[in-house]
Chain A
Amino acid sequence: MSKNNSTSNGSFLDKVKNLTDTSLLLTITIVIFVLMYLGAIIFQGGGFLKVQTFFNILNANAALIILSCGLSLVMIIGGIDISVGGVTALVSMSCAVYLDNMGGNVYVSMLIALAIGVAFGAFQGALVAFLDIQPFIVTLAGMFFARGMTTIVNSDPFNVANEGFNELKMTRIYTPFGSTNAKGVYVPAYVELGVVVALVIVILLFCLLRWTKLGRSFYAVGGNKESALMLGINVKKTKFIAHLMCGTLAGIGGFVYFLHVGSGSPSHATGAEMDAIASSIIGGTMLTGGVGNIIGTFFGVLSLSTIQNIVASAGLDEAWWTGITRAVMLCLFLIIQSVVMARKHKK
């Protein structure tokens, strides 16, 4: 019996044969990421071998990981949310203004961030789920609103001077890994607080999607809405929850972003929604819904930023190269997905 149980140990061959769409795409993502990173180590040399290089990728992208997780959730139910970048900017600016201009407390500012995220998620979710409005339009409006509000809250960028905040910002968690620097001194590698938050979220969401009924309902709704309804799933509620969670994650991600950059600015997180969508897709989430995996999304973010690091360290650091590389990467993965799925379903 256990042989047929995907959660326990079937033989390796069995597993490859019976891969679901989700795990197939996930496998591709991880393999390509590992190859890419190995390639970077071989051709770009030392830098990528250092643990800190890898951790820096995490540090810089903790917020993106969280945003991408949210995107994956709504994409699995067959929706989309393009407001997350705007929400991030709004959260940063609101928290910055609260902390500096109003002399606020850093922990209260977390609540503000969360509240903004929940509000966006709940409102957008309600429109999408209960009024059946296309998520693209709703969240497009959400993005407009968040960006506009950011400017209204404060139109000029500024760095936060609040002490409690900066203390939190500078908190580093040292790990048992490390390397020796140029002077031969051993330096332990560190991660920022945001990375811990991101990892916890990744693990929680992975469990949610894999084992809970709510998680499986996400897949059901994304796979076939009508069928899900017939199976007795509350489709509207499921959709609402997905959007609510995405909004909430955007709030949390926004705060992590804020914690990383330490400033408020209307131009913060420009295009973050596109990066998050791209990461989810690279991670094997299909925009048609019903297929996707949080671990994949995690690797999607890493792949996207690793390739950027490779390009930068290859000396092509003009701004346009970043844009072009990202696009090529996305294009590649989209075509891989399209070809793989077409092959698989033809059989």
Chain B
Amino acid sequence: MKDGSVLEMRNIHKSFPGVKALQGVDFTLRKGEIHALMGENGAGKSTLIKVLTGVYGKDEGEVSLEGKGAISIHSPQEAQKVGISTVFQEISLCPNLSVAENMFIGRTDGMYQNWKKVNSETEKILKSMDIPATATQQLGSCSVAVQQMIAIARAVDTNCKVLVLDEPTSSLDEQEVEKLFKVMRDLRAKGVGIVFVTHFLDQVYAVCDRITVMRDGQLVGEYEIKDLPRPMLVSKMLGKEMDDMSDIHGEFQTYKPEKGVAPVFEAKGLVSDAGIKPFDFHINKGEVNGFTGLLGSGRSECVRAIFGADRVTGGKIKVKGKEAKISKPIDAMKNGIAYLPEERKVDGIIGDLSVRENIILAQQVLRGFFKPFSKAKQYEIADEYIKLLSIKTASADTPIKSLSGGNQQKAIVARWLFTHPDYLILDEPTRGIDVGTKVDIQKLVLKLASEGMSVTFISSELDEMLRTCSRLVVMRDRKMVGELSGEDLNQNKVMSTIAGGDK
């Protein structure tokens, strides 16, 4: 037993039907440290955390707290009682209750709660953490970021010894992340052990003391942060030496457009009911462009307007030089536009349907109600794309929801490729998927463009965009504020345009 360890997990095993999610994982957390838990999607981080917090039972292994011997935790409640608090990626609060109720419900025994006292205590906490909300406000009326901060405030307030933060920063902007880091550092100073799961490498190096890396449900190793520079961390996560991703551009020929050909898509004064300002936009054949800007700057709303996913309220559109009207997705699809939405689970996959049905869906809708593909044809298509994009699935009949995030994303890409679009919009195709698939998708984008497809690529990771796009549209406050290409495509210039620093 090491000194000062607050939590020890030994030889944890957990399997689900068909999957060994955890195989003999060890994890040690010291008092007063911030410990990053890293790994690709499907590495088993989430499972480990859910075992720790009692959401899942474990098949084997033991968990001990402060060296007091093995304990077993059967529910998040029990976890809380022994001092393990968790903040999950998806906000796990009740939107229909007040802020104060969300902070305090489920934490004490007994029938009666003094709500007046609870409210005033909540106000104190909110003030101390600088959260812009009031105790009696209905939680649902707060912004997502504020809700996330409240979730953290709740977890922190429960006198915890171990705080688990499972990708809490994915919906926060930079300032809010900084605020969170301050809270984390304060807690570390108080001796709380923090487990921090994130996909953002910057954040790991900004606050963490040690890193545990997992891969394929197994432990890769535990490292001091100073002993593990970034490239090594990535290669440990991937399990292979990192191929030089910065130069994937050179692998593909840039498409040479014929002169005098009208843009594939052109919009003038396009505006939708999602709250963006009217914008102009065009994309040429074989071009890869991107929309960039901070979260909430309106980049997704722009492409949604192009695809007719939100209600279009004004503007003129030309497709290949001809005027067109796009008011709903099917119009866009008929005009050769394809759109991979930002939220894979909510807007992308049809969870219970098979991979096969998910792949053929869009093209099937285009073909029409009375012309279904024959079963044989469906299998042929599905198998073709499963091979083409190397989608890892047991069969074409497997429900898509049982695939890993990256493979689900590939299946959705397959769906749109099968419609043979002239113009493909990919909104955050690399979010929340493993590094390997990220590179695959970026390579695919460049390959498609070299074959003459126009692609709009959106990612919150700027370096991905810089690697793939030849032109960047910059958004700020729901408005298009600039367009960068050629020499201007570098980190500094993009950043300053986003921030509006040129004034």
Contacts and interface: CB of A to CB of B under 8 A. Distances in A.
Direct A–B contact present (CB less than 8 angstroms): yes
Interface of A: 1, 4-8, 18, 20-22, 211-214, 216-217, 219-220, 222-224, 226-234, 290-291, 345
Contacts of B123: 1, 4
Interface string B124-150: 000000000011111010000000000
B77 A232 contact: yes
A21 B154 CA distance: 23
B80 A211 contact: no
A6 B19 CA distance: 49
B96 A1 contact: no
B120 interface: yes
B290 to A, nearest CB: 30
B69 interface: no
Contact of B94 (A18, A211, A213, A223): A223
Contact of A231 (B102, B119, B137): B102
Interface stretch (B57-65, B109-117, B320-328, B448-456): B109-117
Contacts of A4: 119, 123, 134-136
A345 B141 CA distance: 9
Interface stretch (B85-93, B200-208, B349-357, B495-503): B85-93
A217 B105 contact: yes
Given A5-B119, A213-B111, A214-B111, A228 B138 contact: no
Given A4-B123, A212-B112, A219 B94 contact: yes
Contacts of B140: 21, 345
Given A7-B115, A18-B138, A219-B97, 8 more contacts: A1-B120, A18-B136, A22-B96, A217-B105, A220-B106, A223-B97, A232-B80, A233-B105
A345 B138 CA distance: 12
B107 interface: yes
Q: DSSP majority for the A interface?
A: helix
Minimum-distance CB pairs A-B, first 4: A232-B106, A230-B92, A223-B96, A223-B94
A216 B97 contact: yes
A256 B111 CA distance: 29
Nearest to B139: A223
Contacts of A22: 96
B378 interface: no
B329 interface: no
A20 B96 contact: yes
A45 to B, nearest CB: 43
16 contacts: A4-B136, A5-B119, A5-B136, A6-B136, A20-B138, A21-B140, A213-B110, A213-B111, A220-B105, A228-B106, A230-B76, A231-B92, A231-B93, A232-B77, A232-B80, A232-B106
Nearest to A227: B92
A186 B97 CA distance: 50
B95 interface: yes
Contacts of A345: 140
A211 B115 contact: yes
B137 A228 contact: no
Given A5-B136, A234-B77, A222 B96 contact: yes
B428 to A, nearest CB: 24
Interface string B146-168: 00000000100000000000000
Contact of B96 (A230, A232, A234, A290): A290
Nearest to A212: B111
Contacts of B422: none
A4 B138 CA distance: 12
Contacts of B86: 230
Contacts of A231: 76, 92-94, 102, 105-106, 154
Contacts of B363: none
A5 B140 CA distance: 17
